[in-house]
Amino acid sequence: MAAKEAKARIKINKLLEESGWRFFDHAAGKANIVLEPKVKLTKAVIDAFGDNFEEAGKGFIDFLLLDENGFPLVVLEAKSEDKNPLVGKEQARKYARSQNCRFVILSNGNLHYFWDLEQGNPHLITRFPAPDSIKSYHRFQPNPQKLISEPVGKDYIALTQMPGYAVEAGWNNPAERDASTSIPPSARPTSRPCPGNGASASRNT
């Protein structure tokens, strides 16, 4: 007989463990996954949800992922495989806010979204973020005022790609600089058929 196909709960449990989250205390550290603050999980409680969360009263489970001090850091909303992870994301946001969590993971075992509530909308991920990577996200604090007041010069894009371009030898040699910024004839637009009638468009000048 073929092995039973892993369902949402089994897949999500594995994704969590592979990323360094722990349901139970062991040598690597204390448990950092709970159902509610300061209440540890047991294997019996987890198994009771069913392999596809079919026994969960709401059709999904909200796990809290904790930081190293035991405080809620991420809300993981785990759903059954037949549910879109994005359904009910607003409830996940409200719960995250109530737990003072900035981050949300939405998953049905196959599709996973990571959501920084201070940085727009959920985006697809292929694996769950590790505790250390969440801490890196947490250290980033967007500053809208800085974006408004930051000067944007003509070389703004060049500076983001190559901050030291102004001291490069090639840039300071006028002949090389002019050659690199000019467009060769071979790269200029040529006449091409107009869609629909086979006529040629005029050459751009």
Model pLDDT for residues 33-80, shown as the tens digit of each residue? 988 776 676 777 767 766 656 555 565 678 899 998 889 999 999 888
pLDDT tens string 19-32: 999 988 888 788 99
Tally Cβ neighbours within 10 Å of residue 175: 8
The sign of the torsion formed by the CA atoms of 18, 94, 50, 3 equals negative
Residue 94 three-state SS? helix
Predicted pLDDT of residue 134: 86
Q: Letter for the amino acid at 14?
A: K
CA distance 67 to 134: 9
Q: Which helix (H) or strand (E) holds 137?
A: helix 131-139
Task: Give residue-wise pLDDT tens across range 173-185.
Answer: 776 656 555 555 5
What is the bridge-based pairing of β-strands 103-107 and 72-79?
Answer: parallel
Q: What CA–CA distance (Å, rounded) separates 142 from 134?
A: 15
Fold observed for domain 8-142: tt1808, chain A (3.90.1570)
Say if pTM beats, i.e. exceeds, 0.85: no
DSSP 173: S
Q: What is the pLDDT of residues 154-178, one digit of tens each?
A: 776 766 666 666 666 566 777 665 6
Could you tell me the pLDDT band of residue 102, with boundaries at 50, 70 and 90? very high
Backbone angles phi, psi at 13, to 5 degrees: -55, -45
Domain ranges of the chain: 8-142, 151-184
Please give the sequence-ordered ranges of beta strands (E in DSSP) within 38-159, or none if there are none: 39-40, 60-66, 72-79, 103-107, 112-116, 123-125
Residue with tokens 């603050």: 37
Whether the predicted pLDDT of 110 surpasses 50: yes
The pLDDT of residue 170: 63
